[in-house]
Amino acid sequence: MAFREERLVTSVDEMLESRGRLIYEPPARLEKIVEQPRRERAVVEGDRMSVFDADGDEVATFDLAERPGLKASFDAVRALLKGDAEALRAGFEVALSADPDGPAPGAWEMRLSPKGEDAGYTLSRILIDGQGAPGLSGGANGGDGGGANGGAAPCQVKTIDVRQRDGGRRVLHLRPRS
């Protein structure tokens, strides 16, 4: 699915934008293809993120375990795309609220607070806007544990807003391919 990401870095007074596509391959592989400002590609697998340049050569690898904030946000994205409420709750305190007066019916808002101390050191919270994802809401509320979304399209997430303690922000706008 296509994404548009806005980043806010504390020392920069401007939203830094990039665009591209996200490809999720269950259970754990996430590929992030950036088309703007520069073609590059990252593959997140387990705790490892590898960055490839436009020619497909690997230019760098990161150990996400050493960057708990980054890891937590990738974990959240993966859990959301998979619809795995249990994984989500393992890493975060999950609070779900629906706004009946909101502009779109069935819209919900989720607030994730990191549980892990090291993740919490850099990561403040993750706010997620979504719409009509019965599986997920059921999992989050009812605690039936399975969180299986019963075949419903898992991607009902519209934005993922990752907020860092230092004031940095990373807002991912997702648009399912129609």
What does the binding site for other proteins look like in residue numbers (CB under 8 A)? 7, 9-14, 16-18, 32, 34, 37-38, 40-42, 48, 50-52, 56-63, 66-67, 70, 168
The 3-state DSSP class for residue 174 equals strand
CA separation for the pair 163, 82 (Å, rounded): 22
To the nearest whole angstrom, how small is the minimum distance from the Cβ of residue 69 to other proteins? Answer: 9
Q: Which is nearer to other proteins, 14 or 101 (CB)?
A: 14
Decide: 125 and 105 in contact? Cβ < 8 Å. no
Shortest gap between Cβ of 22 and other proteins (angstroms)? 12
| Rounded-to-integer distance, Cα 42 and Cα 22, Å | 10
> Nearer Cβ to other proteins, position 42 or 85?
42
**Residue (16 or 104) nearer to other proteins, CB:** 16
Q: What are phi and psi of 71, to 5 degrees?
A: -65, -45
Q: Is the Cβ of residue 63 or residue 144 nearer to other proteins in the bound state?
A: 63
CB of 176 to other proteins, least distance (A): 22
Q: Which one, of 10, 135, 29, lies nearest residue 78 by Cα?
A: 29
Residue 135 near residue 96 (C-beta atoms within 8 A): no
In whole angstroms, the minimum distance from the beta carbon of 132 to other proteins comes to 31
